[in-house]
Structure 1
Amino acid sequence: MSQTTSNGALGRASALMASGTAVSRVLGLLRGMVLVAAIGATGQAADAFAVANKLPNVLYMLLAGGVLNAILVPQVVRAYKRDAGQDYVDRLLTFGFVVLGAVAAVLTLAAPLLVDIYSDSGSASQHALAVSFAYWCIPQLFFYGAYALLGQVLNARGSFGPYMWAPVANNLVSIAGFGVFIAVFGNARETDVNLASTWSSGQVVLLAVSATLGVIAQAAVLYPAMRRAGVRYRPRWGLRGYGLSRAGTVAVWTFLGLLVGQLGYIVVSRVASQTSHAAGPGAVVAGNAAYDYAFLIFMLPHSLVTVSLATALFTRLSAQAHDGDADGARSTLSLGLRVVGLFTTIATAVLVVLGYPLTGLVILTGTAAEAHAVSGVVVTMAVGLPFFGAWSMCQRVYYAYEDARGMVPVQVAMAAVVAIGTWLSRELLDPQWWVAGAGAAMSLSYALGAGVALWRLRARLVHVDGPRVLRTHAQALVAAVLAAGAGAATSALLDVPDRLVGWLVTCVVVGLVMGAVYVVALKIMHVRELDDLTRPLVARLRRRRG
């Protein structure tokens, strides 16, 4: 297959995934709006639910997510090259489901301990509410794991779309549940729902079960997709003699690396849980819930391009690693770094310039004070977006070569930067800036991680196409600075009200100006990667016109 044909197929796969991610993220923003309307974006109840509903995500990434990425795709790709591929995959899936179920059950029983680890609110009622939420939310761990297991098998079979479209079901179910909560119990502005001491068991169950049912739906919709892709799963027991010893070693090192990363995040979560108490009654400051909404905005551009492209490239990287094709792996990494960097650089500029109005739209049902609190966190996180994209691509290379051990020193350094930076923010800044300081520490950690990882990958790939990658990023930075200047000037000239219409007009007008300036600047500099980034969209528009 020619490189052009291969990149065309990659572009189509990336476009399909990006479209699913885009729909999911839009619905995710709507889900966030409905949740803010129900319980607010700051305050005791919002922070308690944020901690509890985040636990299954954190635990999944720690116990299963990275391990699945590290071993499942390479193992499945190799399995389907053998005659007994489906038998092996059946055994992997059965083993994974059993382990996920057992772990989810044990951790659900440990809900009080987990809440103690990830929060330090100083309020007994807020702690009790978080524990009540956690009992209903932690079982999501099993369904997140099932979603990942089934989705990665589909990816290995070349069926990328369902994995990225499945979260749409999650968001639709959650939105419906949160809407019922508002209809039954009222919204955050009209009630005292922000106070943890006012919550009833009915409120707890309805809100938490709505979130959990969404995750169940997200996993369930992948099963028929597997059958359409020709995967006929049958439970099979036993993995002895299937050569998983190396994969087990990879899993152990992956777990250790993620555990180290969690130590840094625990510091962030505990400091964020202290802001409301430290700022005093009535203060609107960023806490755990605000961190989550800021991270949702931060992840939007990352999900649209970086995750979609990296997921499509990972299958190719795994095959190249298996075949010992270092030149091919280096070329794939270079392509990913350049195309992802082109998008994340302008995304950073847009988030910095439009941080406040964009946040206002995302938490539209909140107050202006809440929008200001969250937007400060968005800006400090956004600075690290290009480095986060580069770090994500480097991780895929390590996983493709089943070298999770090589990432651990990098992850230790990154976790140390996050923990120390967050602690310094708490010691040196006012409570309203603690979470924003944590966001800045995260950005710095991504820059360190990407730089060190690329340096270390040279030993495996001989080089990482550094001059070409740096040239593309430098050109993107110049174009983004010009776009940011034009966007800031346009924003200053607009005279619009500071609510829905004003925020929407500002985002649309300034966003279009910045996008146009960025594209023109890249065209003037003859940046070829712009075509790689826009080719799937252009091809789709041409097909529709035809």
Structure 2
Amino acid sequence: MSRHRLSRRERRSGAVSPVPAETATAQEAPLAVSEADAVHEVTQTSEAVAEAERRTSTGLLSASVLMAAGTIVSRMSGFVRSALIFAAIGSSLNADIFTGANTIPNALYILLAGGIFNVVLVPQLVRAMKNDSDGGEAYAQRIVTLGLLVLGIATVVLVVFAPLLVRVVFDGRLFDPGNESALSSAYALMRYCLPQVFFYGAFVLVGQILNSRGRFGPMMWAPIANNLISCVVLVTFLLVYGGSNGSDGFSNGQELLLGVGSTVGIAVQALILLPYLKAAGFRYRPRFDFRGVGLGHTLRLGAWTLAFILVNQVMFVVVTRIGTSAGLLAVANGEPDPAGTTVYASAFLITQVPHGVITVSLVTATMPLISRLAAQGDFAAMRSEIRSNIRLVLALIAPIAAAVLALAGPLGTVVASWGAMTGRTETVSVTIAAFAPAIIFFSLHYMSLRGFYALEDTRTPFFLQVVLAAVNIGLAVSLTAQVEADGISSMLALSYGAAYLVGSLLAITMLSRRIGAIVDWSAVGFVTRLVAACLLALAAILGSAELLAGPLGIEGDGKVDAMLAIVVFGGLGAVTYLVAAWLLRIREVTSVVRTVARR
């Protein structure tokens, strides 16, 4: 038996968090929208859990506020990147080809190694540091060597089979006569982007070693460098080639700039961590004596999580194929402004900000406490903590979902009305509005699963995800078949939200059978008051936009008017919600306001 094998008692003692939260956000997302953001969220939770272990539950809100800062910065740079994509390559077939080729490496990395690297690597490293005479140095060297070998071989194989991946990821119409130029670009971009798989893995391997040595900051902020490099690449594209919204593929130079530039961003993201390894006292040298690494135990720990990931990647491929069909349908039918993968991904990026800033931060701060209560068998206290967390998240997330629904038009203008897309953002806005319900249901499902992970149950979440994926795929196929090309992305968004509604309700029901009823009469009363407050905020936004847009002179379609509308009408909605929450005694809102004011 490996010296690093953990007993059930050791895992339940709180030394190791059984939560595969490091992978959850990236896998549960319908698309790996921005490679920097996806990996940032993959790794943020590792840091936050470790940080939260050093905090008491009384400092929960303060810890969550601090942990949200890195996500906000990353998302802001992600928004700039998304706007530049629209400005440089638009939202038609060319944009979908680039988006598909540039996001599949993240999905493949997650499928190949994400679960093992993220779920069990840090606990194993921490245990080796504690028990080994060399402070875990040799163990970490073996893990890095083995990981880089696996990633290197896998990357070479993937590049060789890039044409097969194109057939899997993109809609079959891409191979029809007349699309030869677009198909050639898909092959080229896929080859240029696939080496990202290696650098994603190297980033996580190095970052997790830093995390195990208490150096959390570099891994949280390094992905922002990738977003900045992506922005430089897109600005260079604009300066050299100008903006376009085409469907006839890219030139060789454009493919090289977009594909290699994107891969360089991921490589820099990994390389930027290396100086911090030295500062942390780690010296790497290749070691090939893999006996005693505990790989078999690692695989057993991550088996259900890897199955969970596989289900999500199947969902990813189906959604991507349907998304790319929009541009191809538009080309075949001569329709303008299709809404496919790029529009869907950008809208999803916007609606995931509340989840990344609020839900992930809160969950990572509370997960150690919930895990300890589960280990002690104190299900009453565990249930109370989960109820409290769900209420707090809903109290913060629900009004944002209402605001996104009401302000989808201005949001679409700010994000997408650039370059060739100026004044042509209706499909983006409609997709953003369609995603609004998913803001609530995704976070609710995410929090519910953490209850199972606290119970060291990764099997139930797998089966729940199978149901969720089946609902998402079924609705996506049926709904998109009923609309034209410009409606595909919004139907995909509605399917996503509906799937997570089913998933969250099922997860809460199953968890209630394990620890007692999570939804009681007090929860019904809370939801009733919350809905009332959100409706008042929604009415305030829509009413003020109707009455004040003209007098204030912000009724135009320009980006400045859109930003003013978001600030002014959204601000009025926020004030209305805060007042309503105070009058309706939604204590979760007032406690957050007091905490933020103190910070």
TM range (shorter): 0.7 to 0.9
Q: Does 1:527 align with 2:586?
A: yes
Look up the match of 1:19. Answer: 69
Q: Does 1:194 align with 2:246?
A: yes
* 1:18 alignment partner AA: A
Of the three residues 194, 216, 219, the one matched with 1:138 is: 194
Q: Does 1:386 align with 2:440?
A: yes
Match of 2:246, SS state, is: coil
Mapped partners of 1:532, 1:77: distance in 2? 36
1:71/1:402 contact within 8 Å kept: no
Higher mean Cα deviation, 269-278 or 68-77? 68-77
Deviations 1:451-486 (A, max 9, x none): 222222235434547556555444333221111111
Mapped partners of 2:189, 2:113: distance in 1? 22
Q: Shift of residue 39 of structure 1? A: 1.0
Look up the match of 2:183. Answer: 127
Of the three residues 384, 397, 403, the one matched with 1:350 is: 403
* 2:299 alignment partner AA: G
Look up the match of 1:414. Answer: 468
Of the three residues 120, 144, 147, the one matched with 2:203 is: 147
Deviations 1:18-75 (A, max 9, x none): 11111111111111222222111x2121111011011112223333334444334554
Aligned sequence identity (%): 35
Match of 1:101, SS state, is: helix
Within 5 Å, give how 1:156-171 maps onto structure 2. 160-171=216-227
Deviations 1:307-340 (A, max 9, x none): 2333344455556666666566545534432322
Look up the match of 1:544. Answer: none
Q: Shift of residue 169 of structure 1? A: 0.9
Of the three residues 248, 251, 263, the one matched with 2:302 is: 251
Look up the match of 1:543. Answer: none
Q: Does 1:263 align with 2:328?
A: no
Match of 1:428, SS state, is: coil
Mapped partners of 1:481, 1:77: distance in 2? 48
Q: Please, which runs of 5 or more residues in structure 2 have no aligned partner?
A: 1-51
| Change beyond 3 A, Cα 1:160–1:232 | same
| Change beyond 3 A, Cα 1:26–1:431 | same
Of the three residues 270, 276, 282, the one matched with 2:327 is: 276
| Change beyond 3 A, Cα 1:118–1:301 | same
| Change beyond 3 A, Cα 1:437–1:47 | same
Of the three residues 568, 572, 591, the one matched with 1:513 is: 572
Mapped partners of 1:103, 1:177: distance in 2? 27
Q: Please, which runs of 5 or more residues in structure 1 have no aligned partner?
A: 541-546
Q: Shift of residue 125 of structure 1? A: 2.2
Of the three residues 56, 60, 77, the one matched with 2:109 is: 60
Deviations 1:246-289 (A, max 9, x none): 54124232222222223233222222212233232251120111
Q: Shift of residue 108 of structure 1? A: 2.4
Mapped partners of 1:320, 1:80: distance in 2? 26
| Change beyond 3 A, Cα 1:43–1:343 | same
2:192/2:259 contact within 8 Å kept: yes
* 1:165 alignment partner AA: W
Higher mean Cα deviation, 306-315 or 269-278? 306-315
* 1:262 alignment partner AA: Q
1:342/1:530 contact within 8 Å kept: yes
Deviations 1:186-218 (A, max 9, x none): 222xxxx62334x22111111122222222222
2:57/2:369 contact within 8 Å kept: no
Give TM-score, length-normalised by structure 2: 0.80
* 1:32 alignment partner AA: S
Give TM-score, length-normalised by structure 1: 0.87
* 2:197 alignment partner AA: L
Q: Does 1:439 align with 2:531?
A: no
| Change beyond 3 A, Cα 1:291–1:160 | same
* 2:486 alignment partner AA: Q
| Change beyond 3 A, Cα 1:140–1:332 | farther
Higher mean Cα deviation, 227-236 or 391-400? 227-236
Q: Shift of residue 394 of structure 1? A: 3.0
Match of 2:425, SS state, is: helix
| Change beyond 3 A, Cα 1:212–1:128 | same
